[in-house]
Chain A
């Protein structure tokens, strides 16, 4: 699985869009990009995944660059409940390799 690089922390004002970047420059063609988040003391929660097209669901949007070397998770209207650690994972196998993620703090 490709290594991913994320900023260790970010702040976002409540109600604004939160844009979380991820670099996965060594991603291979069969590897998907997955995003999970982990709120304090809970298990990780699936957010979204994609291969090469942009994806949107009720939680977030995922923008993947054309060369697939990086992606951005967008939370369109961040709330205080979105404060969490966000993990970007590039995987084409049956298991996920988590990094240390981005700690997003949504500010009132």
Chain B
């Protein structure tokens, strides 16, 4: 499979628990993005990596959120002390160096109960 892979596809967690999502981008893509999407809205930018460097974080990314991309390959997004407002679809996308087309994964749907 040469697409962007996200795991898990669905996650239900209790409020206050920590969750971690994983994104495996297309192997030769050096740019990686995380977006969040709530019902009826378009995806909202969260953060951006070029190789292993996290170059930008949105104000949406509170201090409960952390993202990593060790060795510039896969990335993880962790949410600590989840809140009901964190319930959303979390999307990962990767781009090659030319940056003309973003490839999105299927997303991880988080439900906080």
Contact = CB atoms under 8 A, between A and B. Distances in A.
Nearest to B105: A43
B33 A98 contact: no
Interface in B75-104: 91, 93, 95, 99-104
Nearest to A97: B45
B74 interface: no
A49 B100 CA distance: 8
A46 B102 contact: yes
- Give the residue among B42, B55, B95 with the most A Cβ atoms within 10 A: B42
Interface in A83-108: 85, 87, 94-101
B48 A94 contact: yes
B107 A43 contact: yes
Interface in A66-93: 85, 87
Interface of A: 32, 36, 42-46, 49, 85, 87, 94-101
28 contacts: A42-B106, A42-B107, A43-B4, A43-B91, A43-B104, A43-B107, A44-B91, A44-B102, A44-B104, A46-B101, A46-B102, A46-B103, A49-B100, A49-B101, A85-B42, A94-B50, A94-B55, A94-B95, A95-B33, A95-B48, A96-B45, A96-B102, A98-B42, A98-B43, A98-B44, A99-B42, A100-B40, A100-B42
Interface of B: 4, 31, 33, 35, 40-45, 48, 50, 55-56, 91, 93, 95, 99-107
